[in-house]
């Protein structure tokens, strides 16, 4: 509200300045009635631009003040002559009978514009009341002023001088407009008056120069001054004012543009529309949301809206203004990378699109109070929930569904690897399921947003216990083969329905990866497999589950070179589904070729080495597990081993 009103004030000030500027300049000509006038006349909108003020607002011809306050109509200005006509000449006003004069103005003098002056005799009644008719032979008499004013007027057209007139009479000079002599013309006073008066004028030289040089010739009582100084100052002031006005205009304009731009961005950020979401990128590839909107969308991060808590923050269910459901991850404070890097990573992650990857809509802006990540909302929980969590009792995950989940997850990971992104946290908690049990792999690359100081062991390790590539503990680096390892754990979970880590299991079986490896190696896969899935009753399921166990075995190899790439995993899953899976070495033993047979021949973890690996994890400094404690699976892990 403040910005629009300040813009309105700016424009109002500007308007006043412009009006003032327009008024302070003298027009060369101006219209009064239907006639054009110029200096020395002016009108009230520019009173300082002339010596005589015309009233142009009464409609019809303008008027000018003449003798004794009478206002006469002014008709034309030609060169230095004007014609003025007494008001209402059809009714002669006795006040007219006095010598004609214009109001005094020291800068200008008027004189008759015609030589045909008519002399009027104004004769007062005396006590004798003797007739004067004989004194003025051939004159007309106008007696209408006798009763009220006690004088008569004797007149004769075109008589300029009268000598020897009686003492009670005085002459009135009347500069009558010249007319060709017309013997038939009525010899009335009206005839004399309706021609009007023609006047010439003479503006004093200095005043005229003043006017010509663009200054104001200002009359004050008996004198006049040229307002050179003031006018120049005024010019300077006007210059400054107009520069200031331009500046204000520019400022107003800029404020307006910025305000509009911010509004647009806010609208874009705050009210992300379905079409925005469909068309993808809005702001550098990721949508930027306003904190307030997300706060509103999640009922101020109400605990009833909590979907769960992970290692990076708490996830809330939210609904945007246009009804789109979102999952808002509220990151734990201040542990993310520098803001710039963070936004960069978001840009990369938000650009990744795959039907089995969770859609990252975007995040709050770098200026926001808190960093929030906004994801599409997936309603059916996680794979972990269905396998061994709160939804496990429903027994909803039949074998074909599990097979499909494995394939979709592998596809999503292969796509990530092709896009040069390592997931770094593949686990059943990060595999979300929609109502048709389609996979949405979540939190890919999330750890990229956080510091990765490999030289310092107290830094939060990447990944979740039970899923972490054992090689990570050798070199503190995760590769795409680390994702393959974690995926191997997911496969083991899919066939066994067991959690990746369970401290209630025997010591060397706490990690499902170890448990699975040992069972498969000992040819005791049936001890690993969830019996409710039809392994014993359905030969197809039996075949597929055994093959998946073999594939998991390949993925869980200690040496990363022995593990397949994600593309190969996808291929393998497809062949398992289609019944063409072969556990034999496929070609002539190329180094990077994988097969179950080959994997079986490679040194595999004995129970002792498994324990050793366990020790490496459990014996990490407390600070490591401290950081990990926020993940639920980690909590039980660190607790039991301390
Ligand atoms: P990590 O931090 O390692 O990813 P996590 O996956 O257990 O661990 P979060 O990713 O924070 O933790 O997610 C917590 C829970 O929130 C998930 O287990 C899931 O139930 C829920 N959740 C997360 N994202 C979504 C989503 N997009 N739609 C619906 N529920 C979600
Ligand atoms: Mg997660």
pLDDT digits (tens, 9 = 90+) for 617-637: 332 222 222 222 223 332 222
Q: 353 C-alpha to center of ligand 2: Å?
A: 18
Give me the mean pLDDT over the 4-13 stretch. 63
H or E element that contains 263: helix 228-270
Q: How confident is the model at residue 439 (pLDDT cuts 50, 70, 90)?
A: very high
| Mean pLDDT score of the chain | 77
pLDDT at residue 288 in the model: 84
- Ligand 2 is an ion; its neighbours by CB within 5 Å are 310, 430, 442-443
Query: How far, in Å, CA of 501 to CA of 586, rounded?
Result: 33
Using the predicted structure, report yes or no on whether residue 387 has a pLDDT greater than 60.
Answer: yes
pLDDT tens digits for range 440-486: 999 887 766 665 544 333 334 567 889 988 888 777 778 899 999 99
Most ligand 1 atoms within 8 A of CB, residue of 303, 305, 306, 308 to mutate: 308
Q: Which whole number is the average pLDDT over 419-436?
A: 93
Nearest-CA residue for atom 27 of ligand 1: 377
- Going from the C-alpha of 14 to that of each of 18, 22, 240, 489, the distances in angstroms are 6, 12, 13, 72
The burial of 140, by beta-carbon neighbours within 10 Å (0-12 exposed, 13-18 middle, 19 or more buried), is given as middle
Interval between CA 471 and ligand 2 midpoint (Å): 23
**Whole-angstrom Cα distance, residue 203 to residue 217?**
11
Ligand 1, residue 315: give the atom nearest the CA. 16
> Per the structure block, which two tokens stand in for 466?
């039970």
Element (DSSP H or E) covering residue 52: strand 52-54
Quick one: how far is CA 9 from the chain centroid? 20
Cα 377 from Cα 316, distance rounded (Å): 10
Tell me if 174 sits within 8 A of 119, measured CB to CB.
yes
pLDDT tens digit sequence for 19-75: 665 556 678 888 887 778 888 888 888 888 888 888 887 767 788 888 767 778 887
In the predicted model, what is the mean pLDDT of residues 491-504?
95
Measured CA to CA in angstroms, residue 179 lies from 99, 120, 184, 269, 381 at distances of 21, 17, 13, 85, 111
pLDDT higher than 70, residue 437? yes
Residue 208 to residue 108: CA distance in whole angstroms: 10
- Pair of tokens at residue 73: 């109509």
Does ligand 1 come within 6 angstroms of the Cβ of 311? yes
Q: Give the dihedral of Cα atoms 406, 408, 413, 418; nearest 10 deg.
A: 140
Closest atom of ligand 1 to CA, residue 464: 3
557 token code pair: 């190899």
Instruction: Give the range among 334-338, 365-369, 570-574, 611-615 with minimum mean pLDDT.
Output: 611-615
- Looking at per-residue pLDDT, the higher value among 204 and 197 belongs to 204
Decide: 430 in ligand 1 pocket, CB within 6 A.
Answer: yes
pTM confidence score: 0.55
Report the C-alpha gap between 584 and 571 in whole angstroms.
15
Confidence of residue 18 (pLDDT cuts 50, 70, 90): low
Contact (Cβ atoms closer than 8 angstroms) between residue 49 and residue 27: yes
Q: Could you tell me the two tokens for 631? A: 């993940």
User: Is the C-beta atom of 89 inside 6 A of ligand 1?
Assistant: no
Q: Ligand 1 in contact with 464 (CB < 6 A)?
A: yes
Taking only the tens place, the pLDDT of each residue in 315-354 is 999 999 888 999 999 887 655 655 666 777 777 788 888 9
Q: How sure is the predictor about 362, in pLDDT bands with cuts at 50, 70 and 90?
A: confident
Alpha carbon distance 342, 10 (integer Å): 40
Tell whether ligand 1 has an atom less than 6 A from the beta carbon of residue 35. no
Q: Is 327 in the pocket of ligand 1 (CB under 6 A)?
A: yes
Average pLDDT over residues 403-432: 95
Dist. CA 402–CA 533, nearest whole Å:
10
Q: What is the DSSP letter of 178?
A: P
Pairing mode of beta strands 108-112, 197-203: antiparallel
Candidates 94, 96, 99; CA nearest to 112 is: 99
d(CA 445, CA 422): 6
What distance in angstroms lies between residue 430's CA and the mean position of ligand 1's atoms? Answer: 6
Q: Give the distance (Å) from ligand 1 centre to CA of residue 454.
A: 26
Sign of the alpha-carbon torsion through 517, 518, 523, 524:
negative
- Residue 287 C-alpha to ligand 1 middle, in angstroms? 20
Q: Please report the atom of ligand 1 found closest to the CA of residue 312.
A: 2
Of the pLDDT bands very low, low, confident and very high (cuts 50, 70, 90), residue 76 is: confident
Confidence of residue 194 (pLDDT cuts 50, 70, 90): low
Burial 503-515 (b: 16+ CB within 10 A, else e): eeeeebbbbbbbb
* End-to-end CA, the chain: 59
| For the chain, the helix, strand and coil percentages under 3-state DSSP, each to the nearest 5 | 40, 20, 40
Cβ–Cβ < 8 Å for 54, 32: yes
The residue with greater pLDDT, 210 or 463, is 210
* Ligand 1 atom with the shortest distance to the CA of 314: 11
Ligand 1 site, residue 310, Cβ cutoff 6 A: yes
- Residues with a catalytic annotation lie at 425
Q: Which phi and psi angles does 588 have, rounded to 5°?
A: -85, 40
Q: Are strands 63-65 and 439-441 parallel, antiparallel or unpaired?
A: unpaired
Q: Which ligand is nearest to the CA of 383?
A: 1
598 carries a ligand binding annotation: no
| Burial profile 589-617: b = 16 or more Cβ within 10 angstroms, e = fewer | eeeeebbbebbeeeebbeeeebeebbeeb
Please give the pLDDT value at position 355.
Answer: 96
Q: Which of 401, 377, 209, 399 is nearest to 294 (CA)?
A: 377
Shortest-distance Cα residue to atom 23 of ligand 1:
315
Task: List, as own/partner pairs, every contact residues 338-342 make where C-beta atoms lie below 8 angstroms and the sequence separation is at least 24, other chains included.
Answer: 339/366, 340/366, 341/449, 342/366, 342/371, 342/449
Q: Which helix or strand (DSSP H or E) is residue 467 part of?
A: none
Task: Give the DSSP H/E element, type plus range, for residue 291.
Answer: helix 291-297
Higher-scoring residue by pLDDT: 504, 71:
504
Whether the predicted pLDDT of 538 surpasses 90:
yes
Q: How sure is the predictor about 592, in pLDDT bands with cuts at 50, 70 and 90?
A: low
How many A from CA of 429 to the centre of ligand 1? 7
**Residue 124 is inside which H or E element, if any?**
strand 118-124
Interatomic CA distance for residues 87 and 73, integer angstroms: 6
Protein residue closest via CA to atom 11 of ligand 1: 310
Q: Who's near 603: CB < 8 A, 6+ residues apart?
A: 558
Of 119-133, 330-344, 555-569, 577-591, give the range with the top mean pLDDT: 555-569
pLDDT digits (tens, 9 = 90+) for 127-180: 776 777 777 777 878 888 888 888 888 877 666 677 777 888 888 776 666 555
* Under 8 Å between Cβ of 142 and 153: yes
**382 CB under 6 A from ligand 1?**
yes
Neighbouring C-beta atoms of residue 78, cutoff 10 Å: 10
Q: Which residue has the tokens 């597929």?
A: 544
């Amino acid at each position: 509200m403040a910005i629009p009103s300040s813009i309105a004030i700016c424009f109002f000030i500007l308007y006043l300045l412009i009006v003032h500027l327009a008024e302070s300049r003298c027009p060369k000509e101006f219209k009064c009635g239907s006639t054009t006038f110029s200096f020395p006349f002016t009108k009230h909108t520019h009173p300082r631009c002339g010596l005589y003020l015309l009233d142009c607002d009464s409609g019809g011809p303008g008027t000018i003040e003449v003798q004794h306050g009478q206002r006469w109509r002014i008709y034309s200005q030609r060169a230095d002559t004007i014609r003025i006509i007494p008001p209402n000449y059809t009714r002669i006003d006795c006040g007219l009978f006095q010598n004609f004069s214009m109001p005094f103005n020291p800068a200008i003098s008027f004189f008759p514009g015609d030589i045909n002056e008519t002399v009027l005799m104004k004769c007062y009644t005396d006590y004798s009341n003797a007739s004067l008719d004989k004194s003025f032979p051939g004159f007309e008499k106008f007696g209408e002023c006798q009763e009220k004013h006690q004088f008569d007027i004797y007149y004769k057209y075109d008589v300029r001088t009268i000598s020897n007139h009686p003492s009670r009479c005085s002459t009135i000079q009347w500069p009558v407009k010249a007319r060709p002599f017309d013997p038939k013309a009525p010899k009335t006073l009206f005839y004399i008056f309706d021609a009007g008066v023609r006047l010439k004028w003479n503006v004093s030289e200095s005043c005229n120069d003043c006017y010509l040089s663009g200054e104001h010739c200002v009359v004050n009582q008996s004198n006049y001054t040229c307002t050179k100084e003031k006018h120049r100052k005024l010019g300077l002031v006007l210059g400054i004012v107009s520069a200031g006005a331009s500046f204000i205009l520019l400022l107003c304009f800029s404020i307006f543009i910025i305000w509009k731009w911010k509004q647009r961005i806010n609208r874009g950020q705050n009210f992300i529309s379905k079409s925005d979401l469909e068309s993808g990128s809005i702001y550098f590839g990721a949508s930027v949301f306003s904190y307030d909107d997300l706060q509103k969308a999640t009922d101020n991060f109400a605990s009833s809206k909590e979907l769960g808590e992970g290692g990076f923050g708490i996830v809330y269910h939210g609904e945007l203004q246009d009804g789109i459901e979102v999952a808002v991850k509220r990151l734990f404070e201040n542990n993310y990378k520098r803001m710039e890097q963070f936004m960069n990573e978001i840009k990369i992650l938000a650009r990744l699109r795959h039907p089995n990857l969770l859609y990252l809509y975007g995040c709050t802006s770098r200026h926001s109070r808190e960093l929030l990540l906004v994801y599409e909302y997936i309603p059916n929980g996680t794979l972990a929930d269905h396998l061994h969590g709160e939804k496990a009792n429903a027994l909803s995950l039949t074998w074909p569904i599990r097979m499909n989940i494995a394939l979709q997850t592998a596809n999503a990971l292969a796509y990530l690897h092709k896009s040069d992104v390592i997931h770094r946290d593949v686990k059943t908690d990060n595999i979300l399921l929609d109502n048709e049990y389609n996979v949405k792999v979540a939190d890919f690359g999330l750890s990229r947003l956080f510091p990765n100081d490999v030289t310092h062991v107290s830094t939060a390790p990447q990944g979740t216990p039970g899923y972490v590539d054992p090689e990570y503990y050798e070199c503190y680096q995760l590769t795409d083969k680390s994702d393959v390892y974690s995926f191997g754990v997911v496969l083991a979970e899919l066939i066994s329905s067991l959690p990746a880590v369970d401290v209630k299991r025997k010591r060397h079986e706490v990690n499902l990866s170890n448990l699975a490896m040992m069972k498969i190696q000992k040819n005791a896969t049936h001890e690993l497999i969830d019996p409710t899935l039809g392994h014993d009753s359905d030969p197809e399921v039996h075949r597929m589950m055994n093959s998946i166990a073999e594939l998991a075995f390949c993925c869980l190899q200690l040496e990363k070179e022995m593990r397949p790439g994600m593309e190969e995993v996808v291929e393998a899953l497809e062949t398992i589904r289609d019944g063409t899976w072969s556990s034999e070495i496929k070609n002539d033993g190329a180094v990077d070729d994988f097969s179950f047979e080959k994997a079986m021949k490679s040194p595999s973890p004995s129970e002792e080495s498994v324990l050793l690996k366990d020790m490496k994890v459990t014996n990490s400094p407390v600070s490591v597990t401290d950081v990990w404690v926020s993940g639920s699976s980690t909590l039980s892990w660190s607790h039991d081993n301390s």
